[in-house]
Amino acid sequence: MYKSALDNLGQDTPQVSNSENGAVSLYEEKMKNYLELVASKGYNLEELEPIIRSKGKTELYATAGAGKSTALSLIFAKDKLFGDLSPEKRGKKVAWVTTFLKSGAEELQLNIERTLAKLGLSHISTNDIMFSTLHSEFLNLLKLRGYNFTDKTKMEYYRFLDSRDDAEVSRIYNTITGRLFRKHDLGEEGSNYISQQDRKALLEIISNYRNCTLSEYTFGEAEDTAKRLNLPLNLLPDVVEDFQELKKTYYIMDFDDLMTEVKRLMVSETEEDSAVKKQWLSYFRNRYEYLMLDEAQDMSELQYEVLRPVFESCPRVVLVGDPDQSIYGFRGSNPKLMSWFETDFKPETYPLSVSYRCPSNILNPIAKSIDKNSHRYKHSLRSYKEGGELSAYRFERMQDMAEACLELIDQALLEGKSVVVQSRVNFSYSPASILYAIKRQGDFNLLGDVRDLNTVRYRKVWNLIEMVRGRGLVDIKDNLKVLAPDLKPWDAKRLAERLMNLVPENENILYSQNYGYLDFIAQEYGLKSLATLVDKLRSLGEGIPSEMTLFKELLNHVQYWGEPANAEVVGTIATLAEEVSTVSDFFMSMDFVNNKIAGAKRGGTSLVTFATPFGFKGREADVNIIFDDSDGVFPYVLSTDMSFEEERRIHFVAGTRGRERTVYLTRSSKMSPFLKEMQVPIKGWTPLDGLALNSVKLKKDLSLKERMEKQKAEEALGAASDFSFDLW
């Protein structure tokens, strides 16, 4: 039946055919056949038919797990067969399917091709369609205008910087922000110290200001941040101008520069270049015949302004997004722009409010939290499936949280389930991933910018070992800042200089004179944190405890007194320390873990994934574990007050990845406010019952040294660097 119906799909035939019922539109006949085909493959036509029938300007509001990729794929297939992309309508201009991340564009193409195959239409090619990101397309347009991003030998070479997590990029931005703070007297009065939080806050304000091109900029929720930075609104344009000039000295461009330059080329600023600008705008306007934009909630005002000529001139535009999943505010995204598109272009608008991923017991509590955000598209989120399991547990120690996470992973794997462990930033899930690497030695995937344990972020904690092994004066300033977060940075510098002259070469600054040096520092500077540590160390009794005993005590102290931003770092190092008895074994375990991380970063097909909500967005797993759902992580301690609602959206994205079960793990004293909004009972953790761990081949008979030797031997034979075990 469907084969005969499909024979006419996409064929260049007259628009009207005769039937017993009179003249019938051939388009409607093809649409009927196509809808029958779609229904026969199990798709829900009640929700999808109006969307599939859409023409011209179309906008979809699709909640998490609502099947937006399916909807886009079915729209694309229809347009390819007998709609705007059919042979009789297709012109010579560009048909562009785009989104904001490269991985997203690739995944969208794969989803479309899978849908075509499922419909029995795999013969329909997508090779004539441009699948790319917004930025890659605009980067190519700038190259056409003569911009040089490839030849480093030429003076006009520009580096395009797309990640502030990169070490070199971070160094450049630190230099630039430092100069801005000094020139404009920003930051805390009387202080020369610039925290990473304040640097990040300034960059966020600058980016949002530059992307606010269609409305009057106000600090809004960033008002308190601006006051802390001593940044009045009338000074901001000068700060931004200096920021741009400083970047030019390094020949660098970022995402905002890219969009700004494309916009500049389309707007005539002088009579002299008006002809050139008109020519460029005409080229840009006439380049596209079809535009499908995924993740539209991630647009900024600047991007919207650049795309607007395309929206106006392009006969077929399909936008899909979810303002509840707008999580790229640091790049200037504005969730309100989907409603602006609705106002400006009067598209056919369709909600996709039914989640086919999250069962009701998982989705309903999450909906309570996200509903507290303003400026959102109000639609009633509901689940297609009943049931599901949602639970939350509290922990006093990070190590206990990591052990519980390990049990949950074991349970999922024993049931043959896929499992993802998510946290707000790349490092936050490290205690769990490290423990999994050491105790289970199983394969896993990492999605995100994950670095090994030799990075400065970790080293500032494990450098405490120097205090238990020797004088500890090499990194004394940093060590004191870790042990005593209530010590001012400028005091730490002066104190380090005094101690270099005060402590004799043959004495250990940590435990000499019954911890007298630490006691002196605590009393001299009124440091409650350090005084508490001295009392604890003295309670261990006479004599000098072992190096690892002292190291673990220091880590326990830092976990309690340390800054929230360092919690996952300390937890990771503490997890390593718990598994070894000597300092040499500690460093050996780091090498082992670093090798595991290197393997995981190359990608894989393991059932276990560690990721951030940014890295796992658009994906799903049977079991979803939110690791360290605590205040300081959700919302992130380095986030600003201007991004609180976005932090809630990030929490929403993280929570809506689970198909069967979602588990929130939080610290007892610092529970996430978003978890509280969900009104989920928070329970204490007890080991899972019925886990047949005795049947799991965990290779516990191998010592860490033996594991390392085995791994090196396998690598020498050309084997994969990761072990392979029978369980997974």
Task: Assess whether pLDDT exceeds 60 at residue 154.
Answer: no
Q: Are 346 and 57 in contact (CB under 8 A)?
A: yes
Q: How far is 369 from 365, CA to CA, in rounded Å?
A: 7
Could you tell me where the DSSP H helices lie in 314-383?
A: 337-345, 360-370
Q: What is the pLDDT of residues 80-123, one digit of tens each?
A: 989 898 887 777 788 999 888 777 788 888 989 999 999 998 88
Q: What is the pLDDT of residues 281-290, one digit of tens each?
A: 888 888 899 9
Residue with tokens 């980067």: 139
Share of the chain above pLDDT 70, in %: 82
Mean pLDDT value of segment 477-481: 78
Residues with Cβ within 8 Å of residue 96, at least 6 apart in sequence: 129, 130, 132, 137, 288, 290, 291, 292
- Look up residue 127 and give its two tokens: 């090779």
Model confidence band, residue 596 (pLDDT cutoffs 50, 70, 90): confident
Strand ranges of the sheet holding 348-352, from the earlier edge strand across to the other edge: 130-133, 94-99, 288-293, 316-321, 57-62, 348-352
Residues with Cβ within 8 Å of residue 413, at least 6 apart in sequence: 419, 442, 607, 608, 727, 728
Mean pLDDT value of segment 308-330: 89
Give the CA angle between residues 593, 594, 600 to the nearest 5°.
90
pTM of the model as a whole: 0.72
The dihedral through the CA atoms of 490, 491, 492, 493 has a sign that is positive
Q: What is the pLDDT of residues 266-282, one digit of tens each?
A: 765 555 567 777 777 88
Model confidence band, residue 722 (pLDDT cutoffs 50, 70, 90): very low
Model confidence band, residue 727 (pLDDT cutoffs 50, 70, 90): very low
Model confidence band, residue 11 (pLDDT cutoffs 50, 70, 90): very low
Q: How far is 38 from 305, CA to CA, in rounded Å?
A: 36
Q: Are 578 and 436 in contact (CB under 8 A)?
A: no
pLDDT at 554: 86
- Look up residue 4 and give its two tokens: 């005969």
Model confidence band, residue 463 (pLDDT cutoffs 50, 70, 90): confident
